[in-house]
Amino acid sequence: MTKRVILSLMLATAGIAAPASAMAAPARDIAATSIAPATVHYRSATIDGVKMAYREAGPADGPVVLLLHGFPTSSHMFRNLIPLLADRYHVIAPDYPGFGQSDAPDHEQFTYSFGHYADMVDALMGQLGAQRYAMYVMDYGAPVGYRLAIKHPERVSGLIIQNGNAYDEGLGAFWDPIKAYWKSGSAKDRAAQAWLVTQKATIFQYTDGVSDLSRISPDNWVHDQALLDRPGNKDIQLDLFYDYRTNVPLYPQFQQFFRERKPPTLIVWGKNDTIFPEPGAHPYLRDLPEAELHLFDTGHFALEDKLDEMAPLIRNFLDRKVAPR
């Protein structure tokens, strides 16, 4: 009797244990197959004696995607896009000197120009061993990236263009006071541009043309304005507003690069942008007739409220046009 009881208990225990073991297996499988979020590294390099900060993520041997930010922000504008690319792509997003976490030396001791920025990004990519890359260019990132492209046309594997200009049609009425500053270079016209570094202007850039303001984080302008308000930064930005004039004569060279190299191109444009409005998007098709153009019902910083629509297009484009090449 005792043996039979013990045997029954052992069988019962085995019967209970088996389902528990079966339940544990799927848990192990789930843990093994879960996708970990991308790790973003916040690094810096010394270029021309200046600390240049950059964000880096993704496999070191993956196709390189270089993200070039606009005014008045930094690599911060790509904070939500980077993790969506970094499982397959080696993503590098620098801060130009005077922006983000990079050094901001006095404007009388350092040349703040788009040519200098392009050379510094070039040096950074050399330090990182990136010999070929797709570029996401936005606002200031367009002339920086296009200067880099005409310097090393063979290195550009693709372009993602978001509200970044390379045509006269893209410089509308917003630019008239800045053009007056370009023409005169006067202290009066320089001072007239100072409103562009105020909090009101920064908020305008994030909210103008946006249909649902609840999708725009106020952290954006709080973050950017804190950096704009650093001592001496206003003069840095005014120097750059003036130097932007040097980009316009290069437009024919940028356009020649498009025609001759025909890089795979995706255009994702906030069509309500006052600064770089929709008329600046369409001329790209003259020189890049196979470019893929998508207009979004938003403003200047389109990623802030249209990431859910833009990211799948960007990822699909890279997977089709850049990764296999």
Catalytic residue positions, numbered = 300
Token pair of 234 as six digits:
């206003």
Q: Which 8-state DSSP code applies to residue 123?
A: H
Element housing 57 (H / E): strand 50-57
Output the six-digit token pair for 231. Answer: 């001592």
CA 294 – CA 316 distance, rounded (Å): 13
* Nearest one of 178, 162, 179, 196 to 278, comparing CA atoms: 162
Looking at the DSSP bridge assignments, the partners of residue 40 are: 57
Phi/psi for 156 (5° steps) reads -85, 115
The arrangement of strands across the sheet holding 50-57 comes to: 40-47, 50-57, 90-94, 64-68, 133-138, 156-162, 265-270, 292-296
User: What are the residues whose beta carbons fall under 8 Å from the beta carbon of 52, sequence distance 6 or more?
Assistant: 44, 45, 46, 94, 95, 96, 97, 102, 103, 120, 124
User: Is the CB of residue 84 less than 8 Å from the CB of residue 58?
Assistant: no
